[in-house]
């Protein structure tokens, strides 16, 4: 590989990592708080992308789509958690199965509403060009994705560590029952957490759409990669989502260059290695293999 | 005056196992009651059914005269009950100060950070430390301080002396007596009979999911068969 190619691929890897972070942050948050691996997370991501497509078609504004799609997903999460998940509180396996069902329904309805052909979403005006960077042209939008991922990580980290709701989230991840005994309405906190997780999935869907396009099966790709990220980084912590995505994004990108179709094997080798050396994931507190 | 807590005919299960078999228990306003009993007698389960961790199948829980049977934990907490649970259950990932702030329910002239630090001065220089780094004794102080931040009418403590060195058990007893003197109603679960009888104005003895004896510490001391049958080692 020429140095120019390595540089380009490194940027690609980082922008993929930034996307993975947006995606995995929500999955990890919901797992940490509610002990539920939300297997509808990929479907939420896909729905976010398609809602964005409609918003852009109607209004022409990508930025509006970046606001509307997460809000729409948050609303869906606010309805689904009390309506479905709450009824199965404490029955984790049943809750996980339920999220598979939600995922099937959502993906199927996307097919009904938006069709099943491959669609694309243009990067917003101003970010649709490319810049000359170290021996080649590089798409501006991908640089934006890196910057956006970093900014979101900073924002979430501020919310986690400095705000009252962040304090409650960290406490709830440790011991939600005890948090309830201190007067916090954990039902409400769970619903808001689930909604925030869904909103983050939707946001990832919007941000990813100009890079990867929209097509059937995108939900499963997103789910697979976000699961890998949280397993590698460690479930239930923000730092884990950062560490996992910074590792998996570049590893996958370089894996695809070097090993082509065996790239997935690289990813799973990383998963196996991390779990072998540190069963909680890099920064996690929760053992994955009990 | 209405009782701070009135539990009657409480039955609760873990799955099929019938753990609470008709528990009757009352704590008067401003009264300190000790609940003692062997391992597995059902003391923690009684507390779980009172504070909303476990939904009782039968019976009633009245807090300050209000029926809160089966209500969720936050509603029971908001009605003035604070819990210092068995095993402390402090939030290890949060700083000491955050553990206190999380529980805060300010009232005029009530407990706040400054006042709980007066009661437990040892916590003052540990405020910004992650709570999981505290010693066992400090964690217990924090668990009690956190409960006080709720400014409760009733404080429930579940085996606060568990795992403490004898000197610290003495300090704990002194702190609980100071709390009792403020007029706070206290329900103290204890295996340490000396501590239980020093703090409790009445002692209730629990065995196999029911309260089998109730009386003053003097009455308990007189009823020697109770001690050998239900508490003896
Ligand atoms: N989560 C649970 N699931 C099933 N059974 C339980 C559970 N917790 C406690 N038990 C059982 O219920 C009974 C009462 O337990 P409980 O914890 O209330 O006793 P305790 O009086 O608090 O004892 P200790 O002094 O050891 O804390 C015991 O037989 C115990 O094994
Ligand atoms: Mg107990």
- The pLDDT tens digits for A42-84 are 999 999 999 999 999 999 999 999 999 999 999 999 999 999 9
* pLDDT of A288: 45
- By CA distance, what is A171's nearest residue in B? B91
- The pLDDT tens digits for A226-265 are 999 998 988 778 889 999 999 999 999 988 888 887 777 8
Tokens 């009757």: give the residue: B24
CB B201 within 8 A of CB B32: yes
Distances (CA, A) of A254 to A14, A220, A244: 11, 21, 16
Atom of ligand 1 nearest to the CA of B15: 4
* pLDDT of B78: 97
Q: Average pLDDT of chain B? A: 95
As a whole number, mean pLDDT of residues B20-24 equals 96
Within a domain: residue A141? no
Chain B residues with CB under 8 Å of A179 CB are 102
Within a domain: residue A29? yes
As a whole number, mean pLDDT of residues A124-144 equals 91
CB A258 within 8 A of CB A252: no
* pLDDT of A285: 63
* pLDDT of A93: 87
Within a domain: residue A181? yes
| In the predicted structure, residue A1 carries a pLDDT above the cut 80 | no
Q: Which mutation among B13, B15, B39, B45 tests ligand 1's pocket best, with the greatest number of atoms within 8 A of CB?
A: B45
CB B199 within 8 A of CB B34: yes
What residues 88-147 of chain B have any CB closer than 8 A to a CB of chain A?
Answer: 89, 91-94, 98, 101-103, 105, 146
Question: Is the confidence metric ipTM above 0.90 for this complex?
Answer: yes
* pLDDT of A286: 56
User: At CA A86, angle to CA A82 and CA A88, rounded to 5?
Assistant: 145
Q: How far is CA A284 from the centre of its chain?
A: 17
- The pLDDT tens digits for B32-60 are 999 999 999 999 999 999 999 999 999 99
Atom of ligand 1 nearest to the CA of B48: 18
Q: Which residue has better confidence, A272 or B62?
A: B62
CB A240 within 8 A of CB A283: yes
Chain B residues with CB under 8 Å of A167 CB are 94, 98, 101-102
Q: Which sign does the torsion angle of CA A144, A147, A152, A153 carry?
A: positive
Chain A residues with CB under 8 Å of B82 CB are 181-182
- Domain extent, residue A190, equals 3-116+160-277
- The pLDDT tens digits for A201-218 are 999 999 999 999 999 999
Of B56, B33, B30, the C-alpha closest to B152 is B30
Chain A residues with CB under 8 Å of B63 CB are none
Q: How far is A236 from chain B (nearest CA, A)?
A: 12
Does residue B45's CB lie within 6 angstroms of at least one atom of ligand 1? yes
As a whole number, mean pLDDT of residues B200-211 equals 96
- The pLDDT tens digits for B106-147 are 999 999 999 999 999 999 999 999 999 999 999 999 999 999
Q: Which CATH number fits domain B1-80+154-160+187-233: 3.90.120.10, 3.30.1370.110, 3.40.50.300, 3.30.70.3270?
A: 3.40.50.300
With cut-offs at 50, 70 and 90, classify the pLDDT of residue B1: low
Residues forming a β-bridge with B188:
B34, B157
CB B72 within 8 A of CB A187: yes
CB-neighbour burial class of residue B12 (10 A; exposed 0-12, middle 13-18, buried 19+): buried
B13 near A CB under 8 A = no
With cut-offs at 50, 70 and 90, classify the pLDDT of residue A289: very low
CB contact under 8 A, A170 and B103: no
Does residue B183's CB lie within 6 angstroms of at least one atom of ligand 1? no
**Distance, CA B15 to ligand 1 centroid (Å)?**
12
How many domains are there within chain A?
1
Domain spans in chain B, listed from the N-terminal domain onward: 1-80+154-160+187-233
Structure tokens at A20: 């993975």
CB contact under 8 A, A185 and B52: no
| In the predicted structure, residue A137 carries a pLDDT above the cut 60 | yes
Picking from B52, B93, B102, the nearest residue to A182 by CB comes out as: B102
Torsion of CA B64, B70, B75, B80, to 10 degrees: 30
- The pLDDT tens digits for A85-124 are 999 987 888 999 999 999 999 999 999 999 999 999 999 9
């Amino acid at each position: 590989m020429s140095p120019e190619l390595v540089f380009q691929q490194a940027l690609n890897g980082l922008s993929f990592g930034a996307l993975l972070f947006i995606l995995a942050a929500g999955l990890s948050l919901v797992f940490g708080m509610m002990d539920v691996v939300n297997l509808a997370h990929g479907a939420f991501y896909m729905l976010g992308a398609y809602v964005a497509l409609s918003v852009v078609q109607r209004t022409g504004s990508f930025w509006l789509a970046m606001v509307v799609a997460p809000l729409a997903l948050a609303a869906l999460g606010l309805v689904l958690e009390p309506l479905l998940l709450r009824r199965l509180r404490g029955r984790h396996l049943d809750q996980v199965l339920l999220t598979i069902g939600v995922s099937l329904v959502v993906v199927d309805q996307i097919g009904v509403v938006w069709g099943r052909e491959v669609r694309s979403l243009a990067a917003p005006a101003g970010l649709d060009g490319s810049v000359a960077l170290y021996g080649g042209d590089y798409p501006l939008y991908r640089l934006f994705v890196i910057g956006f991922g970093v900014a979101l990580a900073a924002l979430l980290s501020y919310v986690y560590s400095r705000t009252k709701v962040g304090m409650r989230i960290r406490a709830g991840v440790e011991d939600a029952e005890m948090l309830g005994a201190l007067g916090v309405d954990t039902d409400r906190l769970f619903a808001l957490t689930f909604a925030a997780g869904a909103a983050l999935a939707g946001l990832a869907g919007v941000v990813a759409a100009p890079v990867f396009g929209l097509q059937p099966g995108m939900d499963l790709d997103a789910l697979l990669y976000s699961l890998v990220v949280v397993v590698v980084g460690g479930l239930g912590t923000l730092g884990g989502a950062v560490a996992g995505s910074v590792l998996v994004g570049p590893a996958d990108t370089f894996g695809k260059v070097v090993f082509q179709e065996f790239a997935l094997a690289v990813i799973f080798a990383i998963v196996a290695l991390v779990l072998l050396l540190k069963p909680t994931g890099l920064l996690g507190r929760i053992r994955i293999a009990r | 005056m209405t009782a701070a807590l009135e539990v009657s005919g409480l039955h609760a299960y873990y799955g099929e196992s019938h753990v609470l078999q008709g528990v009757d228990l009352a704590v008067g306003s401003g009264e300190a009651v000790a609940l003692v009993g062997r391992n597995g007698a059902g003391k923690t389960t009684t507390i779980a059914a009172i504070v909303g961790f476990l939904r009782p199948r039968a019976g009633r829980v009245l807090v300050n005269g209000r029926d809160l049977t089966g209500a969720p934990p936050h509603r029971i907490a908001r009605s003035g009950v604070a819990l210092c649970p068995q095993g402390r259950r402090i939030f290890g990932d949060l700083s000491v100060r955050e553990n206190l702030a999380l529980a805060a329910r300010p009232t005029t002239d009530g407990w706040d950070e400054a006042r709980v630090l007066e009661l437990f001065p040892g916590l003052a220089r540990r405020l910004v430390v992650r709570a999981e780094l505290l010693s066992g004794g400090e964690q217990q102080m924090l668990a009690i301080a956190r409960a006080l931040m709720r400014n409760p009418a009733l404080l429930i403590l579940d085996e606060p002396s568990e795992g403490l060195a004898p000197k610290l058990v003495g300090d704990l007893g002194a702190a609980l007596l100071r709390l009792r003197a403020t007029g706070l109603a206290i329900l103290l679960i204890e295996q340490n009979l000396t501590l239980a009888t020093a703090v409790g104005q009445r002692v209730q003895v629990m065995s196999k999911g029911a309260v089998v004896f109730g009386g003053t510490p003097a009455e308990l001391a007189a009823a020697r068969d109770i001690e050998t049958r239900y508490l003896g080692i």
